[in-house]
Amino acid sequence: MIIDCHGHYTTAPAAHSGWREAQEAAFTAGRPAPPYPGISDGDLRASVEDSQLRLMRERGVDLTVFSPRASAMGHHFGDEPVSAAWTRACNDLVARVVSLYPGHFAGVCQLPQSAGVPIARSVVELRRCVEELGFVGCNLNPDPSGGHWTSPPLTDRSWYPLYEAMVELDVPAMVHVSAVTNPSFHATGSHYLNADTTAFMQLLQADLFRDLPGLRFVIPHGGGAVPYHWGRFRGLTDMLGRPPLAEAVMPNVFFDTCVYHQPGIDLLFGVVDVDNILFGSEMVGAVRGIDPRTGHHFDDTRRYVDALGLSPADRHKVYEANARRVYPRLDTALLRRETAAA
């Protein structure tokens, strides 16, 4: 089985994104948002059949860990009720897609974060999504301000109520920012990669995993700049008097393969242990074009991983086993399905 750990519902029906625009306009005008529109199962099927599902079939991906569109989480906009309503609508829509295609998608939720609002208030939605909707993880935005970084580091104790719930529920978080309002940063070209790198450095500097050894994070986009500067981070652990990365950070942190060229994938696997790498593509996502040098889509990351010539055991880890280990609720669901099919 090939499991893609990084998929977003980027092709949601127009009525869904249209409601978000209406919600934003209503908040700006100081009036209530309109009712959420009716979206049929047919609309949902049409939104994924010729995009996500088609590409999965063409590229040989069996199952995608599927979450709301990251760039549209929009935590910087509005207030806590606005974020909560939008988050619930997004998560419910993903849950419906999963229910229509349970063999192809597993749900991951966004959280109703707002700048300045305690993260503890997001726990209710996390519990709803995991316990009622059957989701297997969550996306955690380390910068709900939208590129201004007003929140404390991820290792600050203000985050612990969410982490404690994650440990209790046995779900990981993908550390994933959303839209950016700071004009200095391009959303997917710098803001996303900056956040990946920043999150890793924050984890290096503190003892979060000593306090919460069962906590797990997936840092997407190949870990941002981390693998490329692995020697720098190893050196900083020494200069800062921190324990080695292999002991203090990497048992709890994992990178995906959303790196869109062969040399980048080669580097990732050259410096990061294979046990810490999960296959991911982020299709249909930030980079959708065809690479003129190869004639293949940039985000067809399976081609890069296949070209590594991994041993069968390592290939199994990257494509399936690591994801099932990091997402135990996904493993439970798959075991149930495998038992039923036997």
Distance CA 148, CA 205 (A): 21
Mean pLDDT of the region 122-132: 98
Is 208:166 a contact under the CB 8 Å cutoff?
A: no
Beta bridge mates, 148: none
Model confidence over 316-342: pLDDT tens digits? Answer: 999 999 999 999 999 999 999 888 877
Q: What is the model's pTM?
A: 0.96
Cα Rg, the chain, nearest whole Å? 19
What pLDDT is recorded for position 287? 87
Q: Taking residues 286-297, what's their average pLDDT?
A: 89
Q: Which residues contact 178 (CB under 8 A, 6 or more apart)?
A: 70, 71, 72, 73, 74, 75, 76, 141, 144, 146
For residue 98, is pLDDT > 80?
A: yes
- The pLDDT assigned to 181 comes to 93
Average pLDDT on 257-286 reads 95
Answer whether the bond into residue 226 is a cis peptide, omega within 30°.
no
At residue 288, the pLDDT reads 83
From 24, 125, 247, 282, the catalytic residue: 282
Query: Which helix (H) or strand (E) segment is 23 a member of?
Result: helix 14-29
The whole-angstrom separation of Cα 148 and Cα 180 is 8
Summarised one tens digit per residue, pLDDT across range 38-62 is 999 999 999 999 999 999 999 999 9
Examine the residue annotation and report whether 282 is marked as an active-site residue of this protein. Answer: yes
- The count of other CB atoms within 10 Å of the CB of residue 255 is 25
